[in-house]
Amino acid sequence: MQISQRSFASAADEITVEVRPYKAHKIEPPSTTVTTNGEELLKFFKTMYQMRRMEIAADMLYKAKFIRGFCHLYDGQEAVLVGMEAAINWKDSIITSYRDHCTHIGRGGTMVQVMAELMGRQAGASKGMGGSMHMYHKAHNFYGGQGIVGAQIPVGAGLGFAHKYRKDGGVAFAMYGDGAANQGQKYEALNIAALWSLPVIFVCENNHYGMGTAEWRAAKSSSFYTRGDYSPGLKVDGMDVLAVKNAVAFAKKYALESGPIILEMDTYRYHGHSMSDPGSTYRTRDEISNMRQQRDPIEQVRKLLLDHKVVEAVELKKIEKALKKEVDQAVEEAKASPPPEDSMLWANIYKDTLGAHTRGLDSKIKVALR
């Protein structure tokens, strides 16, 4: 995508931004003064807008019955992932919950892989056999979305152990929502991570609703960044990509030197919990509208780009149009991919095809399953 040279005249110039103050537990918070430049802001805008359009496309595909089963969308929360990726590299590990489509993109995956996986096609991130909750990209240390609430947190601690054992300088990110923040396995993982000083960053994406239950109805203390007790924590404006980038860079340095830290990302999802949830029975439409108008992560970056004259509004419209086209093309390419072969029913289950007979399945049953 080409933007005029005139528009990019100040792209390399340093831009200083003040972000909302961090709330800190047992640690001195990082500075609220963050530096960036036009080139980085434009990249943030493109990536978040691409993610937003991809999730909107998934919504439409689900309603058209191209996508079946579970589907959890991420629109509204894009600043968390984009800010994270700006502060780390692909040597670091990430494991997350079932709201994982955009995580795959952040880890270098493609929209075709996401859309094809959602539709159960061979071109998918998990070859069409995982669906919405099971994106995966091991080459860039993305260890997947997890369908079981909170199950990824202790695995994240294990990834931190691997980084420390290998002495590779990487850290692990164990991402979970406010709904999973009350689970016992989270505290077991945090305990062992602190005991062994593992380089793990526990990231609570607090979008304020665990399914349809408001955080204050499920947690005696909804200050999730303080609930590591002996481990430090920060509460971050998760709708501000620069605040996230700054906090994650700070947390990575701390984790490598001293062990685990909790980051609570104050964020928000625009869609319901899943596609079966209208998202407006337990919160008002005005609440959602106010979040879009006042704190939308894409609009914040748009304003910075325009205020600092990095690009003109007409250029951003061109970018949006081009990205919409890219999403549409990815959808069509994903639709053209075939479903997995019938033989894949047995892949990664039995050592060989004879294994089915040892478990009491005969060829007639095999045929019936096709």
Task: Please report the pLDDT score of residue 2 as a whole number.
Answer: 37
Where on the phi/psi map is residue 50: left (φ > 0), alpha (ψ -120 to 50), or beta? alpha
Pairing of strands 213-214, 209-210: antiparallel
**The pTM is what?**
0.91
What would the two tokens of residue 10 be?
A: 């100040």
Give burial (CB, 10 Å; 0-12/13-18/19+) of 283.
middle
Amino acid in position 369: L
Per-residue pLDDT tens over the stretch 98-151: 999 999 999 999 999 999 999 999 999 999 999 999 999 999 999 999 999 999
> Mean of the pLDDT values across residues 11-36?
95
Rounded mean pLDDT of the chain?
Answer: 92
> Mean of the pLDDT values across residues 296-317?
97
Measure the CA–CA gap between 154 and 148, rounded to whole angstroms: 12
- The more confidently predicted of residues 344 and 161 is 161
For residues 101 and 58, is the Cβ–Cβ distance under 8 A? yes
Instruction: With cut-offs at 50, 70 and 90, classify the pLDDT of residue 365.
Output: very low
> Mean of the pLDDT values across residues 206-224?
94
- pLDDT of 7 strictly over 50: no
Task: Report the CATH fold assignment for 7-339.
Answer: Rossmann fold (3.40.50)
Task: Please report the pLDDT score of residue 347 as a whole number.
Answer: 79
Instruction: Quickly count: other Cβ atoms within 10 Å of residue 349's Cβ.
Output: 10
> Where are the CATH 3.40.50.970 domain residues in the chain?
7-339
- The more confidently predicted of residues 366 and 290 is 290
CA distances in angstroms from 221 to 23, 78, 97, listed in the order given? 15, 26, 22
Instruction: With cut-offs at 50, 70 and 90, classify the pLDDT of residue 220.
Output: very high
> Mean of the pLDDT values across residues 53-77?
97
- pLDDT of 193 strictly over 90: yes
User: Which of 123, 99, 120 minimizes the C-alpha distance to 111?
Assistant: 123
